[in-house]
Amino acid sequence: MAIHYIPNPKYADTICAFSTECSKYLNTEDSYVSTGWTLWQIVNGEIEYSVDDSMRHGYAHHILLFAPQDKIRIHYFSENLNVSVLCVEESLMSSALRTNTSKQKLLTLPILLKQSDGIEMHHAELSEKARTELHNIFSMLIGRVPPATSLESIELAMPLVEAMVLLVFETIGVSHNTIRPESRMEKITTDFMVSLPINYLEHQDVGFYAAQACVSVKYFTAVIKKMTAATPVEWINRMITTKARELLWLTDKTVNSISDELKFSSPSVFIRFFHRRTGCTPERYKSLQKQKHRL
């Protein structure tokens, strides 16, 4: 009997997201160890498995969440089993945890799972609304985060990961009646984290996101700051910086072209912004990345 690691240890410091037909990879004679936080969304089929000798079943539209070092044994799976998988290295998940001033943890699902030894909290059935939202987030992650993930891709993915964790938090909490319902502030934060990666290029004003939440800019800013320890402007700037790095590294576009794509008023404004955020100019960053990947 072989032991496999999810994901492969060489990707242990990353986020990876992928879809797979399990019949090609799973073996009922083997065991699997989660090296980080691993989320499965069962798209089709069913599976019978045990986690540390506790037997469970998963069906289509279930989510399965495995904690670091969980030992998973597959006892049966249908030929049509298809899953979307998200793997997040433990320290990266920890960095996504935020605590507000009342000490009420926003993203406490991983902590609750660890404290509960996984009892009946490893899976829950998704509502149609949650299933659609989770599918949309997975689609964005799978298209954006290959297994060989760069730091820049991780930074880009983290808002999506946080949105996904919040969605899982809400789903499992409602399913098992063990976690308080999502508050209004959590709802505003979740919606912002989902909207931001989609809209940040066209909408870099906080007013757009506040309007989506039907609240004032002042209140919206206070909520996001309280719930994530960063302002909406900081989140927008993070996304822009990450996109700029991605374009400088992975394309041959000029600084002027990238400045236009990212909606800066002029290349000089973009250069100052990038230098302030990264400590080097766009041209210097592009040169350093080329040198690094020639080694």
What is the per-residue pLDDT for 258? 94
Contact 235, 195 (CB under 8 A): no
What topology is assigned to 183-295 in CATH?
Answer: Arc Repressor Mutant, subunit A (1.10.10)
What is the per-residue pLDDT for 47? 86
What is the per-residue pLDDT for 212? 94
What is the per-residue pLDDT for 260? 94
Rg (CA), the chain: 20
What is the per-residue pLDDT for 268? 95
* 147: exposed, middle or buried (Cβ count in 10 Å: 0-12, 13-18, 19+): middle
Give which of 260, 188, 179, 175 is closest to 217, Cα–Cα. Answer: 188
What is the per-residue pLDDT for 214? 95
- The string of pLDDT tens digits covering residues 211-252 is 999 999 999 999 988 877 778 998 898 888 878 887 887 788
Q: What is the residue extent of each domain of the chain?
A: 3-147, 183-295
What is the per-residue pLDDT for 245? 81
- The string of pLDDT tens digits covering residues 253-269 is 999 999 999 999 999 99
What is the per-residue pLDDT for 183? 75
What gap in Å lies between CA 65 and CA 120, rounded to an integer? 11
| Summary mean pLDDT of the chain | 71
- The string of pLDDT tens digits covering residues 154-202 is 555 666 666 666 666 555 554 444 444 457 887 888 788 778 878 888 9
pTM for the complete prediction? 0.47
Q: Which CATH number fits domain 3-147: 3.40.50.620, 3.90.1010.10, 1.10.1740.10, 2.60.120.10?
A: 2.60.120.10
What gap in Å lies between CA 57 and CA 55, rounded to an integer? 7
What is the per-residue pLDDT for 176? 44
* 184: exposed, middle or buried (Cβ count in 10 Å: 0-12, 13-18, 19+): exposed
